[in-house]
Amino acid sequence: MALIAVAGSSGAPGATTTALALMSTWPLEPGYRVILAECDPDGGDVVVGALAGRTPGGYGMRNLALAARTNQLSDAFWRQLIDLSETEAQDRLLLPGLTDPAQASSMQYAWNPLTDLLLGIEHTTPSHDVIADLGRHGGTGPSSALVRRADLVLVVVRSTLRGVYLAEPRVRALVEDLEAHGTGQDALQLLVVRSGPYSAGEVADRLGVPVLAELPDDPRAAAVLSDGDDAGRRFPRSDLMRHAASAADRVRAQVTRRRVRLAPRSANPPAHPASAASNQERISHAG
Ligand SMILES: Nc1ncnc2c1ncn2[C@@H]1O[C@H](COP(=O)(O)OP(=O)(O)O)[C@@H](O)[C@H]1O
Ligand SMILES: [Mg+2]
């Protein structure tokens, strides 16, 4: 259904944790999957964070640069995914990020075809939604297509003076780029992590961008996602996960609203090319 970009800024506001919480609670009807793609040029940390190194390394974004140069991106892509779903469904998947910021330069020519691919897989069977974690610096320069073509760009910001102050240049740059080259400033919304004195309304006023949803300050649940702490029985019902589930619903509703608004009036119904083979068989490292 969608490509959703999640952007952080300096000061570790919680972009990766929020992206993972959204992915884990993403509402999935049968025949749908969601992928968290770690598109942070500074490197991904889910494999050593949430997964605490429990999955084999070696998979992920760093293998896609060469594949893109040799026109083998779409085959290579499915082999890099790790299954994070808790059922047999293989419907919550991770594309691990770079393991060293030095690899970012090799991705320069891969971002455009990768964005094409991420946008195109909503039309495969099953259909895929993609949540792209852009980190502090991603979605600019060579990877700006991820922002310009996303259905929604969500900036995670903490409601502290420091959080808002550090988010300001990031938000400004994203707004300018969306206005000049993307789908417009209204693609941008905030996810506010409540951890300071400012209300969501004050944060929105200061940054000039609306708040789509608020997330609680919930260090215990956040550490499950950021550092692989033991989830425990209460984790799925934690404050963070309950709010993430309602944020995920709002994200989906907002994507639908924007698509309706941006759709050309005379457009024919979108074509849904049937994929020749189910992607299910192509994810060799899931599980
Ligand atoms: N909603 C939250 N409540 C409390 N702590 C959080 C929350 N989200 C993230 N954190 C914590 O903030 C720190 C940075 O999170 P992370 O997701 O890695 O940030 P980023 O990806 O923006 O650098 C981690 O220690 C994480 O556990
Ligand atoms: Mg991060």
pLDDT single digits (tens) 167-187: 999 999 999 999 999 999 999
Q: Does the structure show a pLDDT above 90 at 129?
A: yes
pLDDT at position 78 is 96
pLDDT at position 150 is 98
Please list, in sequence order, all residues whose beta carbon lies within 8 angstroms of the beta carbon of residue 33, skipping any fewer than 6 positions away: 90, 91, 92, 93, 126, 127, 128, 129
pLDDT at position 42 is 96
Candidates 17, 48, 217, 246: which one to mutate for ligand 1, based on the most atoms within 8 Å of Cβ? Answer: 17
pLDDT at position 266 is 58
pLDDT at position 194 is 96
Q: Give the number of the atom of ligand 1 that is nearest the alpha carbon of residue 223.
A: 27
pLDDT (mean) for 116-123: 93
Q: How far is CA 130 from CA 34, 125, 212, in A?
A: 6, 14, 18
pTM of the full structure:
0.92
Q: Does the structure show a pLDDT above 80 at 268?
A: no
Q: Does the structure show a pLDDT above 90 at 137?
A: yes
pLDDT (mean) for 10-35: 95
Joined together, the tokens standing for residue 36 give: 């968290």
Q: Does the structure show a pLDDT above 90 at 31?
A: no
Any atom of ligand 1 within 6 Å of the Cβ of 15:
yes
How remote is the CA of residue 226 from the centroid of ligand 1, in Å?
6
Query: 75-104 burial by CB neighbour count: b if 16+ within 10 A, else e?
Result: eebbebbbbbbeeeebbbbbbbbbbeeebb
Nearest ligand, CA 167 = 1
Query: 251 with 212: CB under 8 angstroms?
Result: yes
Any atom of ligand 1 within 6 Å of the Cβ of 1:
no
pLDDT at position 269 is 52
Q: Does the structure show a pLDDT above 60 at 11?
A: yes
Any atom of ligand 1 within 6 Å of the Cβ of 217:
yes
Query: 30 with 128: CB under 8 angstroms?
Result: no
Query: 193 with 187: CB under 8 angstroms?
Result: no
Nearest ligand, CA 160 = 1
Architecture of the domain spanning 3-262: 3-Layer(aba) Sandwich (3.40)
pLDDT (mean) for 233-244: 97
pLDDT at position 279 is 38
How remote is the CA of residue 270 from the centroid of ligand 1, in Å?
38
pLDDT (mean) for 52-76: 92
Any atom of ligand 1 within 6 Å of the Cβ of 48:
no
* Torsion angle of C-alpha atoms 18, 22, 23, 25, degrees rounded to 10: 130
pLDDT (mean) for 2-26: 96
Residue nearest to atom 13 of ligand 1 (CA): 14
Any atom of ligand 1 within 6 Å of the Cβ of 163:
no
Domain boundary assignment for the chain: 3-262
